[in-house]
Amino acid sequence: DVKVTQSSRYLVKRTGEKVFLECVQDMDHENMFWYRQDPGLGLRLIYFSYDVKMKEKGDIPEGYSVSREKKERFSLILESASTNQTSMYLCASSYVGDPNQPQHFGDGTRLSIL
């Protein structure tokens, strides 16, 4: 079974802090993704990466950056947290070789910015 592990289930931070969300997958997947999910807005793609050190902006990259130094790890960084970044953050991974391969999600991190 694919295992995608996010570092925290719940996180509370303060406005202006730099926040790191970590995601690790154990299936040697090339693709990794960060989403946020908000009521009424569904899943929105923040950033994705299809290889080590490669990254591309998703639909809502503003206020975020990412890091992919190793294949198994994809980090999401909130440079200066703001209250409108309070959300559920989901990491996912998938295999690049077959477009019919689905994405597999981590448990999610519920982030509250006070």
Gap between the Cα atoms of 67 and 109, Å rounded: 17
Which residue in 11, 43, 60, 77 binds other proteins (CB under 8 A)? 43
The least distance separating other proteins from the CB of residue 61, rounded to whole angstroms, comes to 13
CA-based radius of gyration for the chain: 13
Considering the rule CB under 8 A, would residue 84 count as an interface residue with other proteins? no
By CB under 8 A, name the one of 45, 60, 67, 86 that touches other proteins: 45
Min dist CB 66 to other proteins, Å, is 13
Mapping DSSP to helix (H, G, I), strand (E, B) and coil, where does residue 21 land?
A: strand
Residue 108 lies near other proteins (rule: CB under 8 A): yes
Name the residue with tokens 């926040």.
Answer: 19
Least Cα distance to 16 among 88, 83, 89, 110 occurs for: 83
Structural contact between residues 69 and 53, judged by C-beta atoms closer than 8 angstroms: yes
Using CB under 8 A as the binding rule, whether residue 107 contacts other proteins is answered as: yes
Q: Verify binding: residue 101, other proteins, rule CB under 8 A.
A: yes
* Residue from the set 75, 103, 111, 113 that interacts with other proteins by CB under 8 A: 103
